[in-house]
């Protein structure tokens, strides 16, 4: 299949999906989410593909966030639908894919970009990568699983700090937190991911599929947390803080939140 916002390269047993919106720093929009879903669905059915790597085009960004211009004027109802559909189509879909998905984080992974990386089965980052969930600076919260997966990966306290400060952490700090498994130079990032993928390919695909299900099952008690996130995410769309946060972002100025 041909795509507008992503590129798919098939190697020997390893497929690489590159999010290709360099002018937008590979920001996720509805089209990209849909195309990622379609590509992943197709690759899951391809018996020759054993491992999938997801990365971003260029050296600046993996995914710099969601495309805010698409939802800045959304209502509460539309906000909830946005989060629910995105989680179903892409983020939960990746987490529960029967084939391993590695995130090759080659630069900024912010907001929806970090949520995408966290939905993958594990992460490898370039040494220039920066990661964070800046949503509260826009008057909203992470809506694609960020409030659930980040605490699972780095612990509640660190996740709370990252979410509430809306700050970024370096690749090395992310490694220390357990958010990424390895850090490499830009040049070494994809070769390292392929090296790990080749090791995975030596093992039983059936057993790996069962292992993914078994590990994920240990976190199933968080399912209500995802529902709470969707509810809270949508509710934020009805606040003055959200209107100010998104307007300030699009106008490239600092937000002045009225509060509630």
**Cα–Cα distance for residue pair 199/64, rounded to 1 Å:** 30
**Cα–Cα distance for residue pair 232/249, rounded to 1 Å:** 21
Active-site annotation holds for 172: no
176-185 residues labelled b (16+ CB within 10 A) or e (exposed): ebebbeebbe
Active-site annotation holds for 135: yes
Among residues 35, 95, 135, 229, which one is catalytic? Answer: 135
Pairing state between β 108-110 and 130-132: parallel
Within 10 Å of residue 134's Cβ, how many Cβ atoms? 20
Among residues 42, 115, 161, 231, which one is catalytic? Answer: 115
Nearest to 243 by CA among 73, 102, 120, 86: 73
Within 10 Å of residue 98's Cβ, how many Cβ atoms? 12
Catalytic amino acids?
Answer: 115, 135
């Amino acid at each position: 299949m041909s795509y507008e916002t992503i590129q798919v390269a098939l190697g020997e047993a390893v497929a690489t999906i590159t999010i290709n919106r360099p002018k937008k720093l590979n920001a996720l929009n509805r089209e990209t989410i849909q195309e990622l879903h379609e590509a992943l669905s197709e690759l899951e059915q391809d018996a020759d593909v054993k491992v999938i790597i997801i990365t971003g085009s260029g050296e600046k960004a993996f995914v710099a966030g969601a495309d805010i211009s698409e939802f800045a004027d959304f209502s509460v109802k539309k906000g909830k639908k946005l989060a629910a559909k995105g989680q179903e189509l892409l983020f939960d879909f990746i987490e529960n894919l029967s084939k391993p998905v590695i995130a090759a984080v080659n630069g900024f992974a912010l907001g929806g970009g970090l949520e995408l990386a966290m939905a993958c089965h594990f992460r490898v980052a370039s040494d220039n990568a920066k990661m964070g969930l800046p949503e509260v600076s826009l008057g909203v919260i992470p809506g694609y699983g960020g409030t659930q997966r980040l605490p699972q990966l780095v612990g509640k306290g660190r996740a709370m700090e990252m979410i509430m400060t809306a700050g970024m952490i370096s690749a090395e700090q992310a490694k220390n937190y357990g958010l990424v498994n390895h850090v490499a130079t830009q040049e070494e990032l994809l070769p390292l991911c392929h090296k790990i993928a080749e090791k995975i390919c030596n093992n039983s695909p059936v057993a790996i599929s069962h292992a993914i299900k078994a590990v994920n099952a240990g976190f199933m008690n968080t399912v209500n947390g995802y529902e709470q996130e969707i509810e809270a995410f949508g509710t934020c769309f009805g606040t003055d803080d959200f209107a100010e946060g998104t307007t300030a972002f699009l106008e490239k100025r600092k937000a002045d939140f009225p509060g509630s």
